[in-house]
Amino acid sequence: MNSSGQSLPGKRILVTGGAGFIGSHLCDDLMKRGNEILCVDNFFTGSKRNILHLLDNPCFEVVRHDICFPLYVEVDEIYNLACPASPVHYQFDPVQTTKTSVSGSINMLGLAKRLKIRILQASTSEVYGDPAVHPQPESYWGNVNPLGLRACYDEGKRCAETLFFDYHRQLGLDIKVVRIFNTYGPRMHPDDGRVVSNFIVQALKGEDITIYGDGGQTRSFCFVDDIVNGMIRMMDTPKGFTGPVNLGNPEECSIRELAERIMEMTGSSSKIVHKSLPEDDPRQRRPDISLAQTRLNWSPTIDLDTGLARTIDYFESCISKPSKG
Ligand SMILES: NC(=O)c1ccc[n+]([C@@H]2O[C@H](COP(=O)([O-])OP(=O)(O)OC[C@H]3O[C@@H](n4cnc5c(N)ncnc54)[C@H](O)[C@@H]3O)[C@@H](O)[C@H]2O)c1
């Protein structure tokens, strides 16, 4: 039964961080599959604009709530995505970032324990830090500086994974952990300093395109629809398969090459300028997705040009119609 007393084919699913970039696409996909969504978000980096199209739908509900405080609701499954994800935002209030990962996870795990339901954690490739192993398999323990500016996010997410696995071992909780690598697509925050959004906005506005370092460092970028599909596949795996499972695109692209592609696709006349690299910026990061391929039958399906074209369309519409949300 849903909250209006009607029978629904799907489940009632809690998505924390559901008004954010990835979370709002996850809400869209889960609703298309016939589920009812409870989106919980404190709107720190999320925006009503991302979920505006869902607000009139009786199967969608949103609650403004900080997951650092306990939450008492009745649901069948939890996807825990709440956490600022870009350095600009997670370094704005580092203590709150760690609290969101640690206290927030404890609260969501406590809720899952009380309801005896399955819970999925959106972890990150940042748990590998500046990796000494390429590409990164899930068995790699990582190389994280616990004292640096990125530690509030990296160590917070590592501790969240520890909590998930201890709730599983100690209390038998049905957990799933995915480690998400660089994701891009429509609804990325235009000012969050992430490379794809930065380059597109700079190119569309005809501003200088800023490359940190020489641009030879590589990243692998995965389109958001693929990541959401992988998360849902992971949630639907049999009980006992916990992960962690890497989700990302193994195709590497240098930052310089990315800037050049975006300039070409937007027909921009921007110039490339170089600035010094931020602290602890990894030189290279690429997922080993063998586990996702074998256990989830998942691989990315959307190539960089297609994904970039959709993302450029989105930013073009934002720049012509500025958001109030
Ligand atoms: N985007 C990526 O490339 C990427 C890569 C790896 C992991 N992830 C993970 O995926 C998740 C979603 O990332 P995103 O890119 O959509 O980021 P985002 O900032 O767009 O979304 C995070 C959402 O969580 C909300 N939030 C933050 N703190 C909260 C709190 N204490 N209580 C309730 N809501 C809170 C924000 O308002 C926002 O809506 C994050 O957990 C992030 O760590 C993202």
Asked whether the predicted pLDDT for residue 147 surpasses 70, the reply is yes
Catalytic residues: 153
Average the pLDDT over 109-116 and give the result.
Answer: 98
What residues contact 303, with CB distance under 8 A and at least 6 apart?
Answer: none
Asked whether the predicted pLDDT for residue 2 surpasses 50, the reply is no
Is residue 100 lining ligand 1, measured as CB closer than 6 Å?
Answer: yes
Is residue 247 lining ligand 1, measured as CB closer than 6 Å?
Answer: no
Residue 237's pLDDT is 98
Is residue 85 lining ligand 1, measured as CB closer than 6 Å?
Answer: yes
Computed over its alpha carbons, how large is the radius of gyration of the chain? 19
Distance 270 CA to ligand 1 centre (A): 30
Q: What is the 3-state secondary structure (H, E, C) of the chain?
A: CCCCCCCCCCCEEEEECCCCHHHHHHHHHHHHCCCEEEEEECCCCCCHHHHHHHCCCCCEEEEECCCCCCCCCCCCEEEECCCCCCHHHHCCCHHHHHHHHHHHHHHHHHHHHHHCCEEEEEEEHHHHECCCCCCECCCCCCECCCCCCCHHHHHHHHHHHHHHHHHHHHHCCCEEEEEECCEECCCCCCCCCCHHHHHHHHHHHCCCEEEECCCCCEEECEEHHHHHHHHHHHHCCCCCCCCCEEECCCCEEEHHHHHHHHHHHHCCCCCEEEECCCCCCCCECCECCHHHHHHCCCCCCCCHHHHHHHHHHHHHHHHHCCCCC
Is residue 26 lining ligand 1, measured as CB closer than 6 Å?
Answer: no
Residue 282's pLDDT is 67
Percent of the chain residues past pLDDT 70, beyond the cut: 94
Asked whether the predicted pLDDT for residue 279 surpasses 70, the reply is no
Q: Tell me: the pLDDT tens digits for 243-275?
A: 999 999 999 999 999 999 999 999 998 999 999
Average pLDDT of every residue of the chain: 93
Q: Tell me: the pLDDT tens digits for 152-203?
A: 999 999 999 999 999 999 999 999 999 999 999 999 998 888 899 999 999 9
Asked whether the predicted pLDDT for residue 43 surpasses 60, the reply is yes
Distance 47 CA to ligand 1 centre (A): 11
Residue 217's pLDDT is 87
CA distance linking residue 162 with residue 324, whole number of Å: 38
* pTM listed for this prediction: 0.94
Asked whether the predicted pLDDT for residue 325 surpasses 90, the reply is no
Distance 65 CA to ligand 1 centre (A): 14
For the CA of 20, the nearest atom of ligand 1: 39
Task: Kindly state the tokens that stand for 278.
Answer: 């931020």
Asked whether the predicted pLDDT for residue 284 surpasses 80, the reply is no
